[in-house]
Amino acid sequence: MACSDDDSTGTGGGAASGTTSSGSGSSQGGGGAGEGGGGAPAGTGGEGGSTTTAGTGGEGGGGAAAGTGGEGGGGGAAAGTGGEGGGAPPSDPACGADTAAFADVEPILTRSCANQYCHGNAGAPTGGLDLRASAAVGKLVDQDSASCSREQALVVPFKPSSSYLMNKLKEVGLCDPDESRMPPTAPLPEADIKTINDWICAGAPAR
């Protein structure tokens, strides 16, 4: 914190009152006040100015420099806080320590969803949702479900609890009461549903 003009004047006053009866002593006292003034930002300059030797004034100045350095450490703390806000993903109660890559999800989609009669038909995939390996991520991530009248993304990165794909797989909270779970023939095994959940928790990466 910068000193006020009053502090500087106080230090100068210390130099005048510190003048001794000999010319030599006066010169030394002035030196002490001058160096002590350098320490004024930390409040040590006043004490340095009251000394009669240049050596003591020098120590006072050194103390001020160290004090200033200590306050500078606060700047480091601010930088640390900035690091914290640098982009940690939002938490989701459905996420744990496990994550998965799209390479783990792709065989599940290929086996259970992306056949030629459903979401693998290149010309007219069911619901316009192409879940073949080359298209699945782009068609799922941040894309609204065709079943819902309101905006409802199929996959929200890092948030399976907000991803409508998980509703479809578990047959819960469906937008249309006549809608069925996916795949319609038989529910996915819990292990497969967890893999898809963990992929979303990882941010739904494309690989």
Closest CA to 59 of 30, 80, 32, 95: 32
Taking 60 as the threshold, does the pLDDT of residue 72 lie above it? no
> How confident is the model at residue 144, as a pLDDT?
95
More confident residue, 137 or 69: 137
**How large a percentage of the chain has pLDDT more than 70?**
57
For the cut 90, the answer to whether the pLDDT of residue 132 exceeds it is: yes
Structure tokens at 196: 């898809």
Radius of gyration of the chain (CA): 36
Ordered alpha helix ranges (H), 18-126: 23-38, 45-49, 54-84, 102-112
Identify the pLDDT of residue 116: 85
pLDDT for 90 beyond 50: yes
- Quick one: pLDDT at residue 123? 85
pLDDT of residue 101: 98
Percent of the chain residues topping a pLDDT of 90: 44
pLDDT in tens, 155-202: 999 999 999 999 999 999 999 888 888 998 889 999 999 999 999 999
- Confidence class for position 83, pLDDT limits 50, 70, 90: very low
- Taking the model in full, what pTM does it have? 0.57
Q: Which two tokens stand for residue 21?
A: 């009866």
Is the pLDDT assigned to residue 77 strictly greater than 60?
Answer: no
Tens digit of each residue's pLDDT (9 = 90 or more) over 10-58: 333 333 333 333 333 333 333 333 333 333 343 333 333 333 333 333 3
Residue that wins the pLDDT comparison between 194 and 76: 194
Mean pLDDT of 69-94: 49
Residues 89, 87: Cα–Cα separation, whole Å: 6
Q: How far apart are CA 102 and CA 104, in angstroms?
A: 5
| pLDDT at 88 (0 to 100) | 57
Mean pLDDT value across the chain: 69
Three-state DSSP class for residue 81 = helix
- Number of Cβ within 10 Å of residue 169's Cβ equals 21
pLDDT of residue 10: 36
Distance CA 78, CA 198 (A): 34
